Amino acid sequence: MNALRFLLAGLALLGSVASAAAAPVGTVNVGLQDVIDTVEKSFLPNSSDPFGAPPLKTVSADFFQRSTLAAKQREMRADGEMFFRSATNRDPLMFRFDYFRPLQQEIVSNGRTLWMYLPENRQVILSDVTPVFNPYTFNPERDRASNFLQGLPRISKDFLVVLASDQRDIAGNYVLELTPRRATASITKLYVVVNRDTVLSYVRSGRNISATFAALGRPEWAFPILSTTMVDHDGNTTTIEFSNVRANIMLSDSLFTFAIPPGVEIVKPPRGR
């Protein structure tokens, strides 16, 4: 269950802005707000779209997860594949995480039900998440985010955001350091590595996110998040790195619905948890 606990921590809350000097990259001046906007606007519902879909509608990606237990100096590693479909005015956020190693696990949500399947235990945990993901009641501009994917359009509202002390990683990608504005049970710091090329395309496109997506030289750059690292109150860390990204592709509805295998125990957590 440790791997599941760390996944849930990684999917926990994500999503003013602190000022920062502009960081020149070639002939383009990139400031902190540009990095934040590249993330938020990619996932923010688009008023010009007939269904209110954001510019980044779907993503599939491989992921590698590394979790470190500070007290035991122990590291756990896992990998798998992720799929998600952004919320629109018609449909809630949907996602799927398939873990391949070290243990097979499936975490699936159609925006109304969340299934967490543990084949080794022959058990599926089934939760009603309608109050969390209901597109008719959740307003990304107003309501506090409740998980990583849902919070991406509003990181500057839920967190104090600065560029990390090193500002960029060895490849020149931007590193955001996020501190929750309100105390949370699981997060003290969150670090988000944002793709340098996506940010540069955003600035060069006149800070127009739609033009940014049209101008991207490689479609995988449309997903601006390269990795996230969560630090909890005990100093434990969970890092998730994304690769082999495909953005705005057709994803079947069946991906976000879990068919419970026969003979599997169904566990329903008490309401309010």
- pLDDT of 114-149, one tens digit each? 999 989 889 999 998 887 665 555 554 444 445 567
Give domain status of residue 102, yes or no. Answer: yes
Burial call 112-143: b when 16+ CB within 10 Å, e when fewer = bbbbbbbeeeeebbebebeebbebeebebeee
Give domain status of residue 198, yes or no. Answer: yes
Give domain status of residue 273, yes or no. Answer: no
**Cα–Cα distance between 107 and 118 in angstroms, integer?**
9
Count of structural domains, the chain: 1
Residue 1, pLDDT score: 41
Where in the sequence is the domain holding 168, given as residue range(s)?
2-15+18-267
Give domain status of residue 161, yes or no. Answer: yes
Confidence of residue 225 (pLDDT cuts 50, 70, 90): very high
39, 225 Cβ separation under 8 angstroms: yes
Q: What is the pLDDT of residues 246-259, one digit of tens each?
A: 998 999 999 999 99
The rounded mean pLDDT for the chain is 81
Give domain status of residue 233, yes or no. Answer: yes
Tell me the DSSP string of 15-76: --------EEETTEEE-HHHHHHHHHHHHSPPTTSTT---S--EEEEEEEEEEEETTTTEEE
Residue 87, pLDDT score: 82
Q: Going by C-beta distance under 8 Å and a sequence separation of 6 or more, which residues neighbour residue 37? A: 202, 207, 209
Give domain status of residue 30, yes or no. Answer: yes
Give domain status of residue 170, yes or no. Answer: yes
Give domain status of residue 272, yes or no. Answer: no
Q: What CATH number is attached to the domain comprising 241?
A: 2.50.20.10
pTM above 0.75, yes or no: yes
Half-sphere exposure of 161 (CA within 13 A, CB side): 25
